Amino acid sequence: MINPEKSTREAFVDVIPRMGEVYPDLWVVDADSGSLTGASSFADNFPDRYCNTGIAEQQQALLSSGLALSGKRVVAVSQASFLVSRSYDQIRNSIAIPGLPVTFIATHAGVSCGEEGAVTQMLEDLALMRALPNFKVLAPADYWSARHLIEASIGNDDPVYIRLGRMPLPLVYSGSDADFSPGGGRMLVEGTGVTICACGIMVHEALKAAEILSQQDLSAEVIDCYSVQPLPSQVILASVRRTGCCVVAEEHVSRGGLGEAVAALITRNYPVPVKFVSVEDRFGQSGRTEELREYYGLTGNQVVSSAVQAWTMRRR
Instruction: Kindly tell me if the per-residue pLDDT of 314 is higher than 80.
Output: yes
Q: CB neighbours of 312 closer than 8 A, spacing ≥ 6?
A: none
In the predicted structure, residue 194 carries a pLDDT above the cut 90 = yes
19 to 13, 27, 143, 155: CA distances (angstroms): 11, 10, 16, 9
Q: Which residues pair with 28 in a beta bridge?
A: 50, 75
- What is the mean predicted confidence (pLDDT) over 175-202? 94
The full DSSP string for 196-236 is EEE-TTHHHHHHHHHHHHHHTT--EEEEE--EEES--HHHH
Confidence (pLDDT) at 39: 81
Q: What CATH number should be reported for the domain whose range is 186-312?
A: 3.40.50.920
**pLDDT tens digits, residue range 16-34?**
999 999 999 999 999 987 6
pLDDT recorded at residue 1: 41
Q: What is the chain's mean pLDDT, rounded?
A: 92
In a 3-state reduction of DSSP, which class is residue 81? Answer: helix
Residue 286 confidence (pLDDT): 75
137 and 130 Cβ atoms separated by less than 8 Å? yes
**Model pTM score:** 0.94
Helix axes 258-269, 233-243, angle to 10 degrees: 70
Query: What is the distance, to the nearest Å, from the Cα of residue 246 to the centroid of all Cα atoms in its chain?
Result: 20
**Model confidence over 46-73: pLDDT tens digits?**
999 999 999 899 999 999 999 999 999 9
Q: In what order do the strands lie in the sheet with 160-163?
A: 50-52, 26-30, 73-79, 102-107, 160-163, 136-138, 227-229
Query: Is-contact 171 10, C-beta < 8 A?
Result: no
User: In angstroms, rounded to a whole number, what is the distance separating the alpha carbons of residues 37 and 32?
Assistant: 9
pLDDT of residue 118: 63
The least confident of 114-118, 132-136, 173-177 is 114-118
Buried b (16+ CB within 10 A) or exposed e, 179-211: ebebebbbebbebebbbbbbbbbbbbbbbbbbe
Pairing mode of beta strands 227-229, 136-138? antiparallel
**Sequence spans of domains, the chain:** 5-170, 186-312
- Which one has a higher pLDDT value, 285 or 243? 243
Contact 84, 128 (CB under 8 A): yes
Most confident of 26-35, 103-112, 230-239: 230-239
5-170 folds as Rossmann fold (3.40.50)
Average pLDDT in the 73-99 region?
95
Does the bond joining 230 to the residue before it have cis omega, within 30 degrees of 0?
yes
Cα–Cα distance between 213 and 192 in angstroms, integer? 12
pLDDT of residue 287: 76
Q: How far apart are CA 141 and CA 35, in angstroms?
A: 23
